[in-house]
Structure 1
């Protein structure tokens, strides 16, 4: 099996590449940096520039499936110009892949794309499954809906289209967790906002295993990529502080203070999505890290 990966140098892409190679799956990856074009056993790089509409067509040779992870981070202040970059980095790259497949002979049968639970409305009471009709009407919801629409187009080409709506990815190597741990380690940690908001999370290893599962099982459709037991921000903060052997002595950080500090991006910290992952489990996927304590035990071993 050969897989073409976009976003292969990011947190998830790096870990997924290592996993696929360990399973004997060869990798083609796309990069916008020509100095990163390297070939190693089982792994070959190809140049693309979604903004300019440029892509090396030979990246498709022998490819059975595409994993689409490319997209500008949402963990950066949301200025109007950066909002546009967030959207375009997802849509332009997907459109470039679509046109590449449409115009060239290929053997691709499936595309597996990252998506996000930000598509679901902020709610303390609702448990979200993939068929939820309530969609977030803010910026994040808009981004994810446009993102998924850009992937749905691949159905026209006869491809299976699998979208993994991902929660908070837990890793020591990047993403949200080190940023959550830092204030706790400095003795200034505290729950955010009300602390009642649900955090639907997933260990990085489980997420990469889920991508492998989607590829090997030929999954089609949308799946929530979150561990089975979401927790509130208050409980998450308490458990992380306990794991780091730090006290929590400060009151909750008010939502208005987070908004003053981060602007609209503060919604990432105070929005609540209680997400159900029963569909992927019913498909046969087993989580290695569940509940949260097991994930933190692995990430912060004693």
Structure 2
């Protein structure tokens, strides 16, 4: 099977590429950087630029499925202009793929797009599954709705649509974990705000396995890319300290402090979304990392 991946060189993309290669799948990938293009039988690069609507349509040749991860990072300060980039990078890249397929006789049957649990409203008590209708009114909620709405248009080119709403990804290759454990390593770890906010986390390996499971089993619809046991921010901080064998004695960090430091982006640390993984488990998927401690031991050990 040949799969086209956007965002293949990012943290999640690299893990998915590794897993595809271990299953003898061949990869085409799109990149905005000509210097990152390589041409190997099982790993072929093609140029695109969603800003200028440029794309090398040879990227679709013999491709059965697209794994769509592309979008600029949400962990840079959210100025008004950068917020526009966050939305446009997701909407424009998706629309470019769809428009390009409209002009081609293609073999693509299935798209599996990244999405995010930021679509669910902030709540300390709700337990969200993919059927929940109310959407978050934050900027993140706006991003995810715009992204999912355009992904749904793949059906116009007879491509089945799946979306994986990703939670807090734990990886030792970038992402949030490095930032969470940095103060803990120096004995300055502390929970944020009340510490009661839910963090629906997932080990990077399990997340990559979900994408490939959805691909191999031709699952359509929405799946939450989260582990079965969400934890509070207090528990996340305590578990990280225990795995690293570091003390935790500082008071929780107040919300207003982080608002001063991060601006609107502080909601990434304070939003609470307790999210269910039942839908993917009901389809037969089995997690390697059900609980936080073994996941952190694997990544930080």
- Scaled by the length of structure 2, the TM-score of the pair is 0.99
Q: How does 1:1-302 map to 2 (within 5 A)?
A: 1-301=1-301
**How far, CA to CA, are the matches of 1:294 and 1:156 in structure 2?**
43
CA RMSD for the aligned pairs?
Answer: 0.6
Structure 1 residue 188: Cα displacement: 1.0
**How far, CA to CA, are the matches of 1:102 and 1:20 in structure 2?**
27
**How far, CA to CA, are the matches of 1:26 and 1:44 in structure 2?**
8
Structure 1 residue 16: Cα displacement: 0.6
Structure 1 residue 210: Cα displacement: 0.6
**How far, CA to CA, are the matches of 1:296 and 1:264 in structure 2?**
28
| 1:196-232 alpha-carbon deviations (Å, 9 max, x no partner) | 0000000000000111101101111011110000000
Count the aligned residue pairs. Answer: 301
**How far, CA to CA, are the matches of 1:230 and 1:144 in structure 2?**
21
| 1:231-290 alpha-carbon deviations (Å, 9 max, x no partner) | 000001000000011101110000010101100000000000000010000011100001
**How far, CA to CA, are the matches of 1:296 and 1:143 in structure 2?**
29
Structure 1 residue 40: Cα displacement: 2.4
Task: Judge which range, 34-43 or 136-145, deviates more.
Answer: 34-43
| 1:121-170 alpha-carbon deviations (Å, 9 max, x no partner) | 00000000001011101100000000000100011222110000000000
**How far, CA to CA, are the matches of 1:43 and 1:22 in structure 2?**
13
**How far, CA to CA, are the matches of 2:271 and 2:69 in structure 1?**
23
Structure 1 runs of 4+ with >3 Å offset: none
SS at match of 1:52: coil
Structure 1 residue 186: Cα displacement: 1.2
SS at match of 2:78: coil
- Scaled by the length of structure 1, the TM-score of the pair is 0.99
Runs of at least 5 residues in structure 2 that lack an aligned partner in the other structure = none
**How far, CA to CA, are the matches of 2:35 and 2:122 in structure 1?**
42
SS at match of 1:151: helix
**How far, CA to CA, are the matches of 2:157 and 2:39 in structure 1?**
30
